[in-house]
């Protein structure tokens, strides 16, 4: 086996590991799996016909290229799907009043559609028709304050509501395709 192939397959496995470390587990798993399969197919296996081996390698390379490009660009449909999966594991209760489901930024910078949105779900401690204060923190510093209220039916079905906070055009461009922003922003409800 050529050292170039060995190096390229090792690089694919390394990219997969880096995706996994940075929280893009789906991209990481697919990259590592494809790299290991390519490495396995590259070994001199007499029972695998060379045409079949080349076809499988090309197919895996094309799938892997798409996965790596999507991973680096953080393609929204895939990353949003993945963020929703990880958010189920990492969503935390704040102040006992509401649970933060997701914090995200609109990539459309038009009045009314722009902003940083905090999606909240009431907990069993939420009182209907009571106005709660929602504070948005950016890297630990208070950025903005808003309010939220749930009525009795919304509390009963645990209806998710979004609270909109202002954002700049630069933030919309930078954060708009990011997906979940809970690593930058946090929210407190009381």
* pLDDT score, position 91: 43
Question: Has residue 114 got a pLDDT over 70?
Answer: yes
* pLDDT score, position 140: 87
- Residue with more model confidence, 63 or 83: 63
* pLDDT score, position 169: 84
Tens-place pLDDT, residues 9-29: 666 666 666 666 666 666 666
* pLDDT score, position 115: 87
- Mean pLDDT estimate for the chain: 74
Question: Has residue 36 got a pLDDT over 80?
Answer: no
Question: Has residue 92 got a pLDDT over 60?
Answer: no
* pLDDT score, position 94: 44
Question: Has residue 86 got a pLDDT over 80?
Answer: no
Q: Tell me, letter by letter, the H, E, C secondary structure of the chain.
A: CCHHHHHHHHHHHHHHHHHHHCCCHHHHHHHHHHHHHHHHHHCCCCCCCHHHHHHHHHHHHHHHHHHHHHHHHCCHHHHHHHHHHHHHHHCCEECCCEEEEEEEECCCCCCCCCCEEEEEEECCCCCCCCEEEEEEEECCEEEEEEEEECCHHHHHCCCCEEEEECCCHHHHHHHCCCCCCCCCEEEEEC
**Where does the pLDDT of residue 8 fall: very low under 50, low under 70, confident under 90, or very high at 90 and above?**
low
């Amino acid at each position: 086996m050529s050292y170039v192939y060995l190096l390229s397959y090792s690089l694919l496995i390394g990219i997969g590991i880096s995706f996994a470390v940075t929280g893009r587990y789906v991209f990481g798993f697919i990259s590592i799996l494809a790299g290991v399969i390519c490495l396995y197919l590259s070994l001199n296996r007499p029972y695998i016909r060379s045409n079949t081996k080349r076809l499988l390698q090309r197919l895996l390379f094309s799938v892997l290229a798409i996965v790596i490009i999507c991973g680096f660009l953080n393609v929204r449909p895939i990353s949003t799907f993945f963020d929703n999966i990880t958010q189920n594991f990492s969503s935390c209760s704040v102040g006992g009043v509401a649970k933060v489901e997701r914090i995200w930024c609109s990539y459309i910078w038009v009045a009314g559609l722009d902003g940083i949105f905090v999606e909240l779900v009431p907990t069993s401690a939420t009182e209907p028709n009571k106005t709660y204060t929602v504070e948005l923190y950016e890297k630990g510093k208070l950025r903005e304050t808003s309010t939220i209220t749930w009525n009795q039916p919304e509390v009963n079905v645990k209806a998710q509501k979004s609270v909109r906070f202002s954002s700049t055009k630069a933030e919309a461009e930078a954060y708009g395709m990011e997906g979940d922003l809970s690593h930058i922003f946090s929210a407190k409800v009381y």
